[in-house]
A and B are shown apart, each in its own frame.
Chain A
Amino acid sequence: MSTSGPIIERSILIFTIWAVLGFFGLGCFLEGLARDSWSISALGVFGIVLAFVAHIVINGVFATDFTRGETVLGIGSYGLLGLVFIAGAVGGGMTMTDYYSGLTLFGVLAAGFLAYLFTRHGLRGAFSRFHVKTASAQEGS
């Protein structure tokens, strides 16, 4: 990562947002699961979504995109938590509130992610972010 001034200032802001909103959201989500309350979990999801929105706003202010590390961390965490959720659902130890809370979290994040890609890159551009051409296809074109 480049360590020039504005990039560092952006990173400070990103850390700040996630330290406050992210961890507060995580806490509320877990509290909702512990108390079997969907509304508290939804508050946590709202906090996490708010952190994402603030992250995107900061990206806009500093004219940058998500860094490679952030993307890996975000998608990795999403995948890992998704795996835990699926394992929990298959195991059958979840209450209906836990189930709906998890679906709310993963659904909102997935929808938000797609909305972000479509609004930032357009439908075709969003697809191109994932469409990796093979070497032979590149030579043929």
Chain B
Amino acid sequence: MVWLPLYGLFYAAVTLYWARIAARENGNFETFFSAGHSLAPWISALVLAGASLSGWAVLDGAAEIGEGGFGVPALLQAGIALALPGVFFFKRLWLLGQRLRLSSQGELLRSYYGSEFLVAFSALVGVIFAVAFAGMQLAALSRLVEGLTGGQVSAPVAATLLAVVLFGYVVIGGMRAVGYLGAVQAVLAAAVLAGFAGFALIGLGSFGALNAGLSALAADPGQAGKFMVAGVIQFTAGVGREAAAGHEGTAVASLTIAFALMGFQASPLAAKVILSTRSPSGVAAGQTWVMAGAFGGLIALCMASLGAAAMINPALGVAGLLTNLSPWFAAWLFIGLLAGVQLMAGLALLTAGEAVVRHLYKPWFHGSLSRRGTVTLTRIVIGILALISVLMQALTPVTLSVLGALALPLAFQLWTPLLGMTWMRWITRPAAVTGVGFGIAGVLLTEPFGHAVLSFLGLDLPWGRAPWTIHSAAWGMAANIAVTLLVSVFTQRRGYGEEAQEARRSLHGTLRTSPRARALKSTAWAVVLAWLFLAVGPGLIFGNAAFVGPEGKWLLGMPSLWGWSLLFWALGLGVVWFLSYKMEMASPLAIDIPAYEPRPRLRRDQTAAERERLRALVVTLAVGFALIVLTALSFGG
């Protein structure tokens, strides 16, 4: 097969071309981390939509529908679910970043809350995205390469090649390369998603044939459950402990999976893109028309079609299509898929590398590190992270997927500190920190990773993954919110740091909503809650039979839940538009934001303290490792 290497070489050449352009613009290292805050708003909109949805939609979303059917309709609302947090946060985060001249989530958290724990947690989330979440998708691509080449290129070799290309353009061009190339990658990935769906439909004959096939499946009592939500909630002990009746896809499972998806927009990856953008003027259009409209529509229609085709004929899944199509189309589709995955992976690697070096290593252990040295060290860390990811893909795929599953629910726990910064000013520093801590515990205790760690230490939990069919993101958030509320109540008298006070003043002074928007506030709450209830929440139960005739015939010619999801995708687009523009939550802002000048402070020599911290870190790591080994030897199985 000559086409795949040919297209692959062309893709690699294009990435290096853009990396070179970006490096020249960067002046090698001056604006490596945030592209000089100069990315065009339309580029950021495409990068955000592409990074959050494209690779996931083809590799995971379609596969889940292919295996489980339409039982989790939240998957089809991913475009809206991801646009909503963008509408809530992005404009305000950009304003804070611009006022305080910050370029990453870690810096924002340190500046506002003064909490090293939150900074470290944000860095950890970035690393999990870079190594495990992206690694899972790259591993899936490597297996596809192995299949496409008939085993001539093994999966580990393919993983190495893909990682080299990724590493190359990220370390050369930094955030600017991720942005420039990301815009191309996002559109290509979106086109390829439509292409996959188109080829799947051609394989079946037509859209009518697809629905006829689905109808035949639904007539089989053994398969009928795939076209229904399995109740509002099931009080089971969780996957691995107690199976749910029918399947795990209850309405509450859908709602909480939508919450998990929303985690991406609270992750340091999304913040990186927003804070590298030159103006917030594209947030409304980006979230409404790109994320919710274009990508949301592709997911509700094309991803669903691709998954549904695989339900009827597994050979029409992604792997089957790539194997059976003409080589030039297979190569084009694969490159598009690769582009979507590398967009997210590149952004994650850069964010994680920056977080580890700029937000952890430099302030704690090496304050005198120069800017050039920081960029060089970040490049090395990016290489190490990419290498770890490749090694884990080849050697420990189970650990990789267990870790990767933590990325979204953990990122979702960052909602509370972000809400504190942007909307809910009563969330105090101790409340945000404690809330996130409990949120992490909630996630870990309901995810296989936590179970595996506790089991290793000799503790067996009486529940499995997602007990009561509730995703770990929601278990974590329940603990997070409860603790945040409680602690906030008791710590209201605690003051805020100088920069946090300035941030609060700045947001309050800049974002004065118009009387019309204030008058629509209760309407906005009502439509958002109604949409959440009906589109991804308990109201999904109505979708089971909403478009089913008296004799069980599908009134729309397609599964009732699919029709319901398409209807609520269109209504969700309206909700996002309403919030963005009419409620002015993401509307364009045409004012100049001057930089905040903090009071001059005397800097003390930190060398001795940094050396002491490094020593303490080494000792803590050694003692911790010894304790874990001892505990495992004593109680572990």
B37-61, CB < 8 A from A:
38, 40, 42-43
CB-based contact B184/A16 at 8 Å: yes
User: Chain A contacts of B180 at CB under 8 A?
Assistant: 8, 12
A8-23, CB < 8 A from B:
8-9, 11-12, 15-16, 19-20, 23
CB-based contact A5/B326 at 8 Å: no
Counting CB contacts under 8 A, is A141 at the interface?
A: no
Counting CB contacts under 8 A, is A57 at the interface?
A: no
Contact with B along A1-41 (1 / 0, CB 8 A): 00101001101100110011001101100110010000000
Docked pose: A9 CA to B326 CA in angstroms: 33
Task: State which of B14, B24, B328 has its C-beta within 8 Å of the C-beta of A27.
Answer: B328
Docked pose: A20 CA to B184 CA in angstroms: 9
CB-based contact B326/A31 at 8 Å: yes
B312 to chain A minimum Cβ distance, whole angstroms, is 24
B192-227, CB < 8 A from A:
195
The verdict on A23 contacting B326 (CB below 8 Å), with A3-B24, A5-B38 known, is: no
CB-based contact B40/A9 at 8 Å: yes
User: Chain A contacts of B7 at CB under 8 A?
Assistant: 23
CB-based contact A16/B187 at 8 Å: yes
Closest to B179 in A: A12
CB-based contact A27/B329 at 8 Å: yes
Counting CB contacts under 8 A, is B530 at the interface?
A: no
CB-based contact B328/A20 at 8 Å: no
CB-based contact B43/A3 at 8 Å: no
CB-based contact B184/A12 at 8 Å: yes
CB-based contact B191/A20 at 8 Å: yes
User: Chain B contacts of A24 at CB under 8 A?
Assistant: 191, 195, 332
Counting CB contacts under 8 A, is B100 at the interface?
A: no
Docked pose: A3 CA to B328 CA in angstroms: 33
User: Chain B contacts of A30 at CB under 8 A?
Assistant: 326, 328
Counting CB contacts under 8 A, is B21 at the interface?
A: yes
B16-34, CB < 8 A from A:
21, 24-25
Closest to A14 in B: B184
Closest to A13 in B: B183
Counting CB contacts under 8 A, is B138 at the interface?
A: no
B273 to chain A minimum Cβ distance, whole angstroms, is 15
A76 to chain B minimum Cβ distance, whole angstroms, is 15
Docked pose: A3 CA to B188 CA in angstroms: 23
The range of chain A's interface size is 10 to 19
User: Chain B contacts of A15 at CB under 8 A?
Assistant: 14, 184
Closest to B333 in A: A27
User: Chain A contacts of B195 at CB under 8 A?
Assistant: 24
Closest to A17 in B: B187
Docked pose: A24 CA to B7 CA in angstroms: 13
Contact with A along B312-346 (1 / 0, CB 8 A): 00000000000000101100100000000000000
CB-based contact B43/A9 at 8 Å: yes
B137-181, CB < 8 A from A:
180
The verdict on A27 contacting B326 (CB below 8 Å), with A9-B40, A20-B191 known, is: yes
Closest to B17 in A: A15
User: Chain A contacts of B14 at CB under 8 A?
Assistant: 15, 19
The verdict on A8 contacting B21 (CB below 8 Å), with A19-B187, A20-B187, A20-B188 known, is: yes
A12 to chain B minimum Cβ distance, whole angstroms, is 5
B427 to chain A minimum Cβ distance, whole angstroms, is 38
Closest to B195 in A: A24
User: Chain A contacts of B184 at CB under 8 A?
Assistant: 12, 15-16, 19
CB-based contact B187/A23 at 8 Å: no
CB-based contact A31/B328 at 8 Å: yes
User: Chain B contacts of A27 at CB under 8 A?
Assistant: 326, 328-329, 332
User: Chain B contacts of A5 at CB under 8 A?
Assistant: 38, 40
CB-based contact B332/A23 at 8 Å: yes
B194 to chain A minimum Cβ distance, whole angstroms, is 10
User: Chain A contacts of B332 at CB under 8 A?
Assistant: 23-24, 27
Docked pose: A117 CA to B195 CA in angstroms: 33
Closest to A4 in B: B25
User: Chain B contacts of A9 at CB under 8 A?
Assistant: 40, 42-43
B11 to chain A minimum Cβ distance, whole angstroms, is 9
Task: State which of B21, B25, B38, B328 has its C-beta within 8 Å of the C-beta of A26.
Answer: B328
Docked pose: A3 CA to B187 CA in angstroms: 22
The verdict on A12 contacting B183 (CB below 8 Å), with A3-B25, A5-B40, A24-B195 known, is: yes
User: Chain B contacts of A19 at CB under 8 A?
Assistant: 14, 184, 187-188, 191
A43-71, CB < 8 A from B:
none
CB-based contact B329/A31 at 8 Å: yes
User: Chain A contacts of B191 at CB under 8 A?
Assistant: 19-20, 24
User: Chain B contacts of A26 at CB under 8 A?
Assistant: 328
User: Chain B contacts of A11 at CB under 8 A?
Assistant: 21
Closest to B7 in A: A23
Docked pose: A12 CA to B42 CA in angstroms: 11
A115 to chain B minimum Cβ distance, whole angstroms, is 27
A75 to chain B minimum Cβ distance, whole angstroms, is 19
Docked pose: A11 CA to B332 CA in angstroms: 20
User: Chain A contacts of B329 at CB under 8 A?
Assistant: 27, 31
Docked pose: A88 CA to B38 CA in angstroms: 50
User: Chain A contacts of B21 at CB under 8 A?
Assistant: 3, 8, 11
User: Chain A contacts of B187 at CB under 8 A?
Assistant: 16, 19-20
Most chain B beta-carbon contacts within 10 A, residue among A8, A23, A34: A23
Docked pose: A16 CA to B183 CA in angstroms: 8
B404 to chain A minimum Cβ distance, whole angstroms, is 28
User: Chain A contacts of B25 at CB under 8 A?
Assistant: 3, 8
A26 to chain B minimum Cβ distance, whole angstroms, is 7
Contact with A along B239-263 (1 / 0, CB 8 A): 0000000000000000000000000
Docked pose: A19 CA to B11 CA in angstroms: 10
Most chain A beta-carbon contacts within 10 A, residue among B38, B42, B43, B332: B332
A89 to chain B minimum Cβ distance, whole angstroms, is 22
B348 to chain A minimum Cβ distance, whole angstroms, is 21
Most chain B beta-carbon contacts within 10 A, residue among A20, A26, A31: A20
Closest to A7 in B: B21
Docked pose: A32 CA to B122 CA in angstroms: 51
Docked pose: A5 CA to B191 CA in angstroms: 26
Query: Sorted from nearest, which 4 A-B pairs have the closest CB atoms?
Result: A20-B191, A16-B187, A19-B188, A27-B328
12 contacts between A and B (CB under 8 A): A3-B21, A9-B43, A11-B21, A12-B43, A12-B183, A12-B184, A15-B14, A15-B184, A19-B191, A24-B195, A27-B329, A31-B329
Q: A16-B187, A20-B191 are in contact. List 8 more A-B contacts (CB 8 A).
A: A3-B24, A8-B21, A8-B180, A12-B180, A15-B14, A16-B188, A19-B188, A27-B329
Residues of A with Cβ closer than 8 Å to B? 3, 5, 8-9, 11-12, 15-16, 19-20, 23-24, 26-27, 30-31, 34
